[in-house]
Amino acid sequence: MKLISYNLRKHRAATELSALVDRHGADLLCLQECDTDDIPSQIAGLRLADATHRNRLGLAVYFRRDMYRPLEVRSLALKKSLHDRVLKPAEERMLGVRLHDIDQGRDLIIASFHAAPLTALNRLRRAQIRTALGELQEIGHGLPSLMVGDYNYPVFKENLGQKVREQGYQLTLSDRRTYTRYRYFRGHYDFATSAGFDIERIRTLPQGRSDHLPILVTARMSAPAAREHVEIKVA
């Protein structure tokens, strides 16, 4: 499957979405900083699963309707930074969708995530990520899960990667940096955490009207674990 994640920078890059989906053959689309009152129900053949409703700048997840069937949606308000308390840009910072893969007959979880901005401490963002990943297991324990988005975590990602692995997930960066607006803050902001997926590649796409560059995730669900055969002897 192919998934595009894109922080639209206050909805400015919304007009680019149809072309992006068509050009890269995306099956899933995860958005951050979109105006949820001004997003269509369909984008280039992808259908809106749901969007957050309590945010000034929201999250949304789209899916290819001939590949997936939505089963459950859950949004989550995470621990707030001072920025959130004062300016209130985002009440809900994670939107998770449980989907049924029609061809494979398996369920999976896709989530769009937007961490607190750089004015907050990495410690708070780690707490947000930990809570969000834990919530995904509540949607479907043990299901393949992929959470993408703007993690706002340009430095000390080795420490974050260790914390994520302790929860049973893997952190994967794209091939090039995804944020270029300010010279001293450039780096990888948009990436993925996953469990039960083989991430083949994450590619940073060309920059559009946003200060974030979209990323294209190419992945497949890992093969289900083989059931252990237990021989029972009857006396």
Q: Is 233 within a domain?
A: no
| pLDDT, position 54 | 83
CATH at residue 131? 3.60.10.10
- DSSP-derived letter for residue 183 is G
Report the greatest alpha carbon distance in the chain: 74
| pLDDT, position 1 | 97
Q: Is 226 within a domain?
A: no
Q: State which H helix or E strand residue 177 sits in.
A: none
| pLDDT, position 121 | 84
pLDDT tens profile 7-61: 999 999 999 999 999 999 999 999 999 999 999 999 999 999 999 988 778 999 9
Domain count of the chain? Answer: 1
Q: What residues make up the domain containing 96?
A: 2-220
Residues of the chain with pLDDT under 70: 78-91, 182-185, 225-235
| pLDDT, position 143 | 97
| pLDDT, position 27 | 98
CA 36/CA 58 separation, integer angstroms: 6
Q: Is 60 within a domain?
A: yes
Q: Is 231 within a domain?
A: no
Q: Is 235 within a domain?
A: no
| pLDDT, position 175 | 95
| pLDDT, position 118 | 79
| pLDDT, position 84 | 55
